[in-house]
Amino acid sequence: MTVTGGCLCGSLRYEAKVKPQISIICCCRQCQHITGTGHAAQFGLPRVEVSITGEPKVHLLVADSGNTVSSAFCRDCGSPLFKATSGFPDMLFFHAATLDDPASFKPQSVVWTKSKQPWDQIDPAIPIHA
């Protein structure tokens, strides 16, 4: 399996020849700010399996969990592309909408629901891991 995607303008691209190991919908406040929505649909790939072309701009922050997070954006179009966190140092978490085939994203769970916005509707069939 090959996973490919990139930013809106195409300046940043990624590829991995491995299936995503984690797929979540995160409702934390940082994800809300980064995406401008109520949650972030994300999938995790092993860092060593990912090839990235282009040079992202990186913003450092501290997550609700206390972990340090670097959030990578396209310098040209501003699209959020991926995050790295000290909580999972061997993984990169990509935003599902950046996939070339976003319909292939299948979330396994919803996390950080204590920060979920009441107006943000998420499929209730997806398991919740607060």
Domains in the chain, ordered, with CATH? 3-113 (3.90.1590.10)
Q: What is the pLDDT of residue 130?
A: 72
| Each residue's pLDDT tens digit, 35-53 | 999 999 999 999 999 999 9
**pLDDT of 1 strictly over 90:** no
| CA–CA dist 98, 100 (Å, integer) | 6
Signed CA dihedral, 73, 75, 78, 81: sign only: negative
> What's the mean pLDDT in 73-92?
96
**pLDDT of 27 strictly over 80:** yes
**pLDDT of 64 strictly over 80:** no
**pLDDT of 67 strictly over 90:** no
